[in-house]
Amino acid sequence: MVSLLGIPPQVLFGQLLLGLINGSFYALLSLGLAVIFGMLNVINFAHGALYMVGAFVAWLLLTYAGVGYWGALIVAPLVVGLLGILLEKSMLSRLYKLDHLYGLLLTFGLALILEGAFRHQYGVSGQPYPIPDALKGGQNLGFMFLPNYRAWVVVASLTICFGTWFAIERTKLGAYLRAATENPTLVQAFGINVPVMVSLTYGFGVALAGLAGVLAAPIYQVSPLMGTNLIIIVFAVVVIGGMGSILGAIVTGLGLGLLEGLTKVFYPEASNIVVFVVMAIVLLIKPAGLFGRER
């Protein structure tokens, strides 16, 4: 059999595809973080916890209200988004005049509270969430068995990523938003309600996290720990991509997913540190990140 660096090609292709799938998760989560940082200058440490809440809302809807996956895909991000707006209005909005660090500390505390509450209520082993019937099974691609659900996750994430990028970089609303973050006083003078816009942006950013949570629920156990597992990697992705850069978050998310996949083939033990090695190198060479602007 032909092999590439001692690895059979089908294994390699399989891992690359899986890397792409994980990468699309990273992209979706870091997109939300990048939107929030880019527009609000808040380092949202509660992002992982809100992702977990998204998954739990889906599970609660299924268990107690009989609302299935497709319904949850719409309802859960709305619930998480509303929760986000509530948090922003009641707490975060008081911190904008202070240093970044205060926002980080507040959201970190919120993350701990949310996780602690869910852990207390539901334990750590997590709850099972079934794959929706329409997406059960998979395709035999020759080099690997691709579950339909994972393919759907890639398509859904990429669509949402592109849509968000388009809305912020190419539409009038996005232009207002970008202007409001550059010079809020001036934009307010044009009659645009900046505080409402900021709340909605935070709500939208965390709704993306909630959506990622619903997408993740059928793959992982719906567990209070799921956010903690992912958030550190996602932060690394955002830092590498350049804090606040939308395109950077998407491209880096996918790229690092692929890199992680490759590491799992060649040296699996290092798979959970490779992202941080890359982060260290990027920060040394380009402190603002790959797509970031120096501020």
Partner 1 sequence: MRTLLLAGTALLTLAGTVVPAAAQVSDNVIRIGVLNDRSGIYADLAGEGSAIAARMAAEEFGNKVAGAPVEIVVADHQNKADIAASKAREWVDTGGVDVIADVPNSAAALAVQGITKDKKRIFLMSGPGATALSGAQCSPYGFHWTYDNYAMAAGTGRALYEQGKKKWFFVTADYAFGQSLEEETTRMVKSLGGTVSGSVRHPLGTPDFSSFLLQAQGSGADVIGLANAGGDTVNAVKQAAEFGITQSGQSLAGLLMFISDVHALGLQSAQGLMLTTGFYWDMDDQTRQWSKKFEAKAGKKPTMVQAGVYSAVKHYLKAVEAAKTDDADKVAAKMRELPVEDMFAKTGRIAANGRMFHDMYLAQVKTPAESKGAWDYYKIVKTIPADTAFMDPKQSGCPLVK
* Min CB(75)–partner 1 separation in Å: 23
Q: Which is nearer to partner 1, 12 or 177 (CB)?
A: 12
Q: Tokens for 166, please give them.
A: 């388009």
53, 80 Cβ separation under 8 angstroms: yes
Kindly report the three-state secondary structure assignment for every residue of 12-56.
Answer: HHHHHHHHHHHHHHHHHHHHHHHHHHHHHCCCCCCHHHHHHHHHH
Give the position of tokens 């922003």. 88
Q: Which residues bind partner 1 (CB under 8 A)?
A: 8, 10-11, 14-15, 18-19, 21-22, 119, 123-128, 130-131, 137-138, 144-145, 147, 149-150, 219-221, 223, 225-226, 229-230, 261, 264-265, 268-269, 271-272
* Min CB(156)–partner 1 separation in Å: 16
Q: If we measure between CA atoms, which residue out of 192, 243, 226 comes closest to residue 53?
A: 226
* Min CB(11)–partner 1 separation in Å: 6
* Min CB(51)–partner 1 separation in Å: 12
CA angle 19, 211, 242 (to 5 degrees): 60
Q: Which is nearer to partner 1, 59 or 202 (CB)?
A: 59
Q: Which is nearer to partner 1, 11 or 75 (CB)?
A: 11
Distance of CA 201 to the CA centre of its chain: 15
Q: Which is nearer to partner 1, 147 or 292 (CB)?
A: 147
Q: Which is nearer to partner 1, 83 or 230 (CB)?
A: 230
* Min CB(225)–partner 1 separation in Å: 7
234, 146 Cβ separation under 8 angstroms: no
